[in-house]
Amino acid sequence: MMHLLSLVVSSFLVGQAHAHTFIWGVFVNGVDQGLNRGIRTPAYNGAPGQGGYNNSPVKNLTSIDMRCNVLGDTPNPYTIKVAPGDNLTFDWHHDKRDPLDDVIANSHHGPALVYISPDPPTENSFVKLWHKGLYVEGLPAGKWATTSDIAKNGGHMNVRIPAGLKAGHYLIRAEMIGLHEGEVSYEENPARGAQFYPDCVQIEVTGDGIVELPEGVSFPGGYDYDTPGVVYDVYCSTETTRTTACTTTYPIPGPTVWSGAWADTTSVPLNSVTGITTATAWSTWIKNSVVTSATFTDKKSLTVMGTSTYHASWSSTYQTPAPGTKRW
């Protein structure tokens, strides 16, 4: 099992052909840190050429995958150093790290949110730094953070490191939520339900700040199926003809934004993306907690080398990333 899991770590982040949205890169004050650096990128869910892709949505609100997605417990070998006040721009994409990429399907309307937690997380350690939901109401042109803001702005999501934040290791939990099947809960109908796309970034805050994070929420646990905004008919804001009465206002899930977060999180000019932007084919994936490793003669012919069972195993103490184990 350990051998297979090492293959998972070494081979995941060099390819995606059919992907849901996730973070491909991080800019710090406009400077790109490189493809997948510091990002705990979600696992592939199947073989290349056979419908596999990164980042299947998480719909089960009780799953540990709600924390940082599948493989969220596995440290990336690189941690991004930042200082209080620094601006982080998360570069979300769908198929490739390119301004012309569609970022997220145009039907996946919903909110975007950013949390921060000490690394490793503890109970109630995730504190909300930013969120945006339905920011222009009206029919048929309601505007949502995922599709009308982030997707229309090259996949860029911005947040600032809180002023005076105490030095140490943290996880940024950035999230997009697709509400296109969210008119019922996953608990009621597992074929539908809101789709959550969490992704975590490892940072090390430097300096001599003394501000500590307040109590936040846990993941899983930050949302439940009764949380306002989790079950929601998104088409109330995008269609003019309705057969049932519904509302065009939207309550963003989760806690309020922490008072210690920056009130104004604006975009900054970005330098060019550094390094490669398109990944090669992968050979290891996780589906229904089964790890499969394979070799390919072409995209449709594969030989399975072995399987094992993946169980997320979050440490209670900080785990220094292994620099020799690359995920890109």
pLDDT above 60 for 56:
yes
pLDDT of residue 299: 61
- Edge-first strand order for the sheet with 284-287 is 284-287, 290-298, 301-309
Domain segments of the chain as ranges: 2-309
Sign of CA dihedral 271, 177, 117, 161: positive
Q: Does domain 2-309 have CATH number 2.70.50.70?
A: yes
Q: What is the mean pLDDT of the chain?
A: 88
| Mean pLDDT on 140-165 | 94
Cβ-Cβ contacts under 8 Å for 75 (sequence gap 6 or more): 40, 202, 319, 320, 321, 322
pLDDT above 90 for 328:
no
Q: By percentage, how much of the chain surpasses pLDDT 90?
A: 70
Task: Note whether 206 and 225 are within 8 A (CB).
Answer: no
The pLDDT tens digits of the residues spanning 191-204 come to 999 999 999 999 99
Task: Note whether 313 and 24 are within 8 A (CB).
Answer: no
The pLDDT tens digits of the residues spanning 272-316 come to 998 888 876 788 999 889 999 998 776 667 888 999 999 999 999
pLDDT above 70 for 240:
no
Both tokens assigned to 48: 């290349």
pLDDT above 90 for 4:
no
Helix, strand, coil percent values for the chain (each to nearest 5): 10, 30, 60
Both tokens assigned to 165: 């934040």
